[in-house]
Amino acid sequence: MNKHSVPRCDDLPDRTPTGALVENVDLVIVRFGDAVSAFYGRCLHRGVMLSDGLNGHNLICGVHNWGYRVDTGISAYVNDEKLPKFNAWIEGGDVLVDTDEIKQWKQENPQPYDRKGYLGQYADLMVPTKNPARLHHHALGRVIIRLLGPSEKLTNRQLN
């Protein structure tokens, strides 16, 4: 076991999804009362970041409203669908996960997102693009990224 601190408990508002990147795997961390869950951070439908979603009794994807229970990760509508869940616990105010467990999971589930590439972590890898207008749009985006760099650099340039 290799403990790794993700956001402190005090920084996790109750039932509010928070993203964390551990071993290049997107996680979504949810505190509910005195308990905490750490799940794979991408929706099982189209890979949207669940840290951008909403929460209540369920963790709700912000795009098409798929919902997952905050304690188990099981879909509220299709019980066969279940977000991968990682061990997470609170110790001295820190929320901890086990990087060895996450590394092992990543070996079996390689992550395809090129964070510095076109669309980066928001790339939709599940839809082949055949529409000529979308192909043109994506090609233009790739050229802009190549010329100007990824969006973090753009943001830094705009701030400086």
Report the interface residues with ligand FES, using CB under 6 A: 43, 45-46, 48, 61, 63-64, 66
Q: Which is nearer to ligand FES, 5 or 120 (CB)?
A: 120
Nearest-angstrom CA–CA distance, 46 and 56: 21
Min dist CB 1 to ligand FES, Å, is 31
Smallest distance, ligand FES to C-beta of residue 150, A:
23
Q: Indicate the residue among 55 and 95 with the shorter CB distance to ligand FES.
A: 55
Shortest CA distance to 120 belongs to which of 134, 100, 141? 141
Residues 87/81, Cβ–Cβ less than 8 Å: no
Beta carbon nearer to ligand FES, 20 or 61: 61
Least distance in angstroms from the C-beta of 66 to ligand FES? 4
Residues 6+ apart with CB under 8 A from 77: 66, 67
Give whichever of 65 and 131 is closer to ligand FES, judged by the CB atom: 65
Q: Encoding tokens for residue 140?
A: 């233009």
Gap between the Cα atoms of 152 and 147, Å rounded: 14
